[in-house]
């Protein structure tokens, strides 16, 4: 996968929040948090470059990009946090102002005709048949 585009945008959007939450949630000293963030950037890029390209209609590209971001930070830590600590870290680091805005806007469009069509198209795509990093989903219309 190319680093430019969404992967670069996600790095720019979340790097500061991840670094700050290394301190506030995981208790790393600020200097160590900075070192972790510096080590995480090339790891993130390396992870992204090893991933295959996603199809244009694949809705799950953002998921793998966010997983790569989290993994890059975790792999750059000398001591790894517990699952509970990591869950709290990730939840708080991802909830930036732009993320909250995006979630509000997405919620307003949920279950509109366009959203339902998009779900049907995603189900028909079966992207995971061609890309092991994507998902297949079924569309189950409400009765």
How far is it, in rounded angstroms, from Cα 62 to Cα 64?
6
Residue 129 resides in a domain: no
pTM: 0.85
Confidence of residue 56 (pLDDT cuts 50, 70, 90): confident
Looking at the domain assignment, is residue 131 inside a domain? no
Q: Do the domain assignments include residue 121?
A: no
Secondary structure (3-state) at 127: helix
CA distance 102 to 10: 13
Q: Which residues does 129 contact at the CB level (< 8 Å), separation at least 6?
A: 136
Question: Over the stretch 87-103, which tens digit does the pLDDT of each residue have?
Answer: 999 999 999 999 999 88
> Is residue 75 a part of any domain in this protein?
yes
**Token pair for residue 60?**
């799950």
Residue 86 belongs to some domain of the structure = yes
| Residue 21 to residue 2: CA distance in whole angstroms | 27
Q: Is residue 96 part of a domain?
A: yes
> Is 57 inside a domain boundary?
yes
Model pLDDT, residue 95: 95
Q: Which tens digits make up the pLDDT trace of 106-115? A: 889 888 999 8
| Per-residue tokens: 105 | 């806007």
The residue segments making up the domain with residue 43 are 6-108
Q: Is 136 among the domain residues? A: no
pLDDT at 9 over 90: yes
Nearest CA to 93 out of 36, 37, 24 is that of 24
> What tokens does 1 get?
């996968």
Mean pLDDT across 72-81: 96
Look at the alpha carbons of 100, 111, 67, 13 in this order and tell me if their dihedral is positive or negative.
Answer: negative
């Amino acid at each position: 996968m190319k680093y430019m585009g969404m992967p670069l945008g996600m790095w720019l959007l979340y790097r500061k929040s991840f670094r700050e939450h290394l301190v506030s949630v995981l208790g790393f000293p600020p200097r160590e948090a900075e070192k972790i963030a510096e080590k995480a950037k090339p790891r993130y890029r390396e992870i992204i470059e090893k991933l295959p390209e996603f199809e244009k209609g694949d809705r799950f590209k953002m998921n793998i990009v966010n997983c790569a971001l989290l993994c890059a930070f975790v792999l750059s830590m000398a001591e790894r946090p517990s699952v509970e600590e990591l869950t709290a870290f990730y939840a708080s680091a991802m909830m930036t102002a732009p993320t909250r805005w995006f979630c509000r806007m997405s919620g307003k469009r949920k279950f509109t005709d366009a959203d339902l069509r998009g779900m049907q198209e995603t189900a028909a795509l079966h992207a995971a048949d061609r890309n092991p990093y994507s998902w297949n989903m079924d569309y189950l219309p409400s009765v």
